[in-house]
């Protein structure tokens, strides 16, 4: 039977054998990935906005041209057409550009729909 040699652990800064027994001390709790927030998401959002010509798709459906920007007060929302809660994916085909009011409205409607179910 092989004995595992004790060694200096750079993680917990103690000497021990094998896997670090003090993991909880240094390991950050693993958060569920939200899909939003990281750099890849930001890049994807940019691509979706460019694809949609920086126009709110929902407004466009009603014949209104609403230009959104990446940042600032007119910043648009990269919206999941099929909500993630309903199994929608992060694929660009399931993403659309919305202005803040349209996004708020959609979120509201989705919440209502969720409550009825």
Chain positions contacting Zn ion, by CB under 5 A: 9, 11-12, 20, 22, 56, 58-59, 66, 99, 102
Q: How far is the CB of 80 from Zn ion (least distance, A)?
A: 15
Nearer to Zn ion, 11 or 40 (CB): 11
Q: How far is the CB of 51 from Zn ion (least distance, A)?
A: 16
Nearer to Zn ion, 13 or 40 (CB): 13
Q: How far is the CB of 26 from Zn ion (least distance, A)?
A: 8
Supply the Cα-derived Rg of the chain in whole angstroms.
23
Distance of alpha carbon 41 from alpha carbon 35, whole angstroms: 7
Distance of alpha carbon 92 from alpha carbon 44, whole angstroms: 7
Question: Tokens representing 89?
Answer: 């994916």
Q: Which strand (E) or helix (H) includes residue 16? A: strand 14-17
Nearer to Zn ion, 38 or 105 (CB): 105
């Amino acid at each position: 039977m092989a004995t595992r040699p004790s060694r200096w652990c750079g993680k917990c800064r103690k000497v021990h054998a094998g896997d670090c027994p003090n993991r909880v001390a240094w390991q950050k709790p693993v958060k569920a990935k939200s899909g939003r927030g990281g750099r890849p998401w930001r890049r994807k959002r940019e691509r979706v906005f460019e694809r949609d010509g920086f126009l709110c798709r929902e407004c466009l459906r009603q014949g209104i041209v609403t230009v959104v920007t990446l940042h600032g007060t007119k910043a648009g929302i990269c919206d999941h057409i099929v909500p993630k809660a309903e199994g929608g994916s992060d694929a660009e085909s399931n993403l659309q550009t919305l202005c803040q009011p349209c996004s708020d409205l959609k979120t509201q409607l989705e919440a209502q729909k969720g409550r009825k179910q």
